[in-house]
Structure 1
Amino acid sequence: MADPSQISRLDKLRITREYLAYQLQRTDTAIRELAAQEKQNRHRAEQARADQGWKIQPKRGEAPPVLHRGGCATYKAKDGMLLDRGQARLAVTHETYIVMCEICTPQTDLQEG
């Protein structure tokens, strides 16, 4: 093994650069992994929020308005347009005619609970 005092300054700088490049690569990998994990966590939180809410598809032509669970893919509501249980119950009782989505069956979760 060579005596460290015999390694030229240029070689020391090249070794240091290689080590720092390695550390940068590892840091970039960790950042990408954490960013992906945070994105998944945000998506899960948004999905959980949607699953706990309801949304109303507006009346179209002769078709009556339709009540959906927040996570129902049949109708995409705009962000922030979710109703809580009380609001959904109120809409169902005060709306002249509102139908329940046959796919997500929102009425099962409108019961007292």
Structure 2
Amino acid sequence: MNLHVNEIKLVDDQVHVFTAEEPLDQLTATGQMITDSDHFQFVYQLDDGTAYQHLRFVEETWPMMNDYKDKEWLLYGTVKLERFTEEFELLLDNIKDNHNYGKAFTEKVEEVFAL
């Protein structure tokens, strides 16, 4: 299932992420982030006990991801997104000058995140 981030709030120096979909019970953070370069999205993987759920950060959320990347991230204010910063920074390092993600995606990431 895809969970699309539609709101990001800074609350008490923590980043709270909300989705358009109803909150799911028993989600756990995997500490893994990937990209969907075809749709210009960063995807944090969650586990619901039977399958992965994809928390999708669309391009419009990227400036906030950049501004708050060193903060603690929580889904719905309760599920800590383990290793969010580390995974995100690893992806950014890997994307820089790497057109395996697609030239348009790479260039947009480099522009937004000043790589």
Return the TM-score normalized by structure 2. Answer: 0.25
Relative to total residues, which structure has the larger helix share, 1 or 2?
1
Relative to total residues, which structure has the larger strand share, 1 or 2?
2
